[in-house]
Structure 1
């Protein structure tokens, strides 16, 4: 995906940036190290703007409400875990892959947060002229959402809150485990999604796979196959019967991918899946099961609790 910055070449834009910077520089600040160097951020930032989806979710989970965030989709409609959480937050929508820097200047942010990802590679240079900008490591940790919470908490001085967040997550993991202990069930679960007309199965290094592994439910099938470092593995139709999970969760990447799932369900090989034979294939929300943030993690745990109770009540 090509990332383009919308830059204003007029003198007025330069003046706005200069004025915005002077306001920030005149306040006391503390130096924080980040993925692109260091920045001196306000001691108590009040006007935080996030420029990526997962930082937005993480900042919200840390109990801080940004004044704005930039997204490329309708988060209120497409992401149920943001329901009621975005009230009062300006959504800088863009379907073209562009950030309007002039609009960002007019928000007068005192801290901008973004992740280190090729998609945002060109952002830091310009964002840092508007306000102190922190680039949280992302590619360095291969998109580790748990580490992202810790990194954001250090910048925002919310480390105790981060510990509480992970304690709450671990408590919920144990609750789901207990559901199975009470039912004396030993299960293996897989999650696959459909993208570009193909079925992709997620493994331990993926978001959903990691959560299933935390609970002890992940089917280790395909974990020892080639490209061990990959979180996802493309599955051909011929390999479908090898998905011998008790339960299979499937998600379409886009609404149009539902037709691909329907076509798969008409294949003779599909009916050989253990989960199909046991009528334990469930369609789930891609934005949740591929969420890469703590809000999505809790929604996924909600799904697991719901379907496990429904299946083994």
Structure 2
């Protein structure tokens, strides 16, 4: 009889532990309940992959970065062995099913129809954030961390990023220098919104970030500018991103033109080439740290 009571007690304690580990997350498509630490994670959003890796979790599957056929290069060897299960535009559902996930971390732009399919496979977490809010990535990271049961690790990373941004801002002159982020495409540069991940970090690091009045509300970037209109991107600092070889070739050609050479920011050597995958497509704690690395290099004496 005593053995029976012992087994019953262990069962009850186990149930109580599971209940304690269970958590309910508020997501874009309602409440999602998750128990324990998921072991078979699939990420369908670059910010989710970044957050998972920063939390010490290596997903089984992820989507390819924009402009590439694998995950973003800035993640390095931390992302080795992760299967590609689609792109930001299209998920390979068969590939996701084959991985037998116990948690899916998705983009805030995931359509409801896809959510309905994915949530049948595993708890699917979709942030209820806007892609055009500079601080949205932090809310997403905290939500993903809670889903992964790794809140302490991710919160510590976010605190470190905030502290480093403040340190960089302290290096800036009293009048905050104007800065602009542009992504160079084959047809010319597109000015990026001031309400994005990277431009938000630029502002946190002490720049007065501008889009030159060229970005329409609710859009991530302007239309491509012609070489005749390059003066519109002149500023104290210009961060120039490219996504692929075609963009790099177009920017290299533009650099040889008189219109580019006449820019005040060029003459003062304040043009900083940056990785387009990192600066205009990524988000998350690891990406934030890399962006701040680039800013620190720009501000170095």
Q: TM-score range by the shorter chain?
A: 0.7 to 0.9
Q: 1:188 to 1:94 in 2, by over 3 A?
A: same
CA shift for structure 1 position 161:
3.3
Write the distance in 2 (CA, Å) between the matches of 1:248 and 1:126: 43
CA shift for structure 1 position 229:
4.5
- Is the 2:186–2:250 contact (alpha carbons within 8 Å) kept by the matching residues of 1? no
Which residue in 1 is equivalent to 2:105?
113
Which residue in 2 is equivalent to 1:41?
34
Which residue in 2 is equivalent to 1:56?
49
Which residue in 2 is equivalent to 1:20?
none
1:201 aligns with 2:191: yes
RMSD: 3.0
TM-score, normalised relative to structure 1: 0.76
Q: 1:177 to 1:231 in 2, by over 3 A?
A: same
Which residue in 1 is equivalent to 2:143?
151
1:252 aligns with 2:242: yes
Q: 1:64 to 1:42 in 2, by over 3 A?
A: same
Q: 1:177 to 1:30 in 2, by over 3 A?
A: closer
- Is the 1:111–1:133 contact (alpha carbons within 8 Å) kept by the matching residues of 2? yes
Q: 1:96 to 1:134 in 2, by over 3 A?
A: closer
- Is the 1:42–1:110 contact (alpha carbons within 8 Å) kept by the matching residues of 2? no
Deviations 1:232-266 (A, max 9, x none): 23344443224332332212232111222133224
Write the distance in 1 (CA, Å) between the matches of 2:76 and 2:175: 34
| Ranges in structure 2 where 5+ consecutive residues have no aligned partner | 1-17
Which residue in 2 is equivalent to 1:220?
210
Of the three residues 159, 165, 172, the one matched with 1:167 is 159
Deviations 1:162-192 (A, max 9, x none): 43222111111123234446xx896333221
- Is the 1:242–1:273 contact (alpha carbons within 8 Å) kept by the matching residues of 2? no
Deviations 1:130-156 (A, max 9, x none): 222222224476582122112223333
Of the three residues 58, 73, 76, the one matched with 1:79 is 73
Deviations 1:274-298 (A, max 9, x none): 1111233232210111123222221
Count, aligned residues: 277
Which residue in 2 is equivalent to 1:65?
58
Q: 1:106 to 1:161 in 2, by over 3 A?
A: same
Write the distance in 2 (CA, Å) between the matches of 1:221 and 1:104: 38
- Is the 2:170–2:206 contact (alpha carbons within 8 Å) kept by the matching residues of 1? no
CA shift for structure 1 position 122:
3.4
TM-score, normalised relative to structure 2: 0.78
What is the 5 A alignment of 1:118-137? 118=110, 120-137=111-128
CA shift for structure 1 position 125:
1.8
Q: 1:135 to 1:207 in 2, by over 3 A?
A: closer
| Ranges in structure 1 where 5+ consecutive residues have no aligned partner | 1-26
- Is the 2:176–2:206 contact (alpha carbons within 8 Å) kept by the matching residues of 1? no
Q: 1:30 to 1:220 in 2, by over 3 A?
A: closer
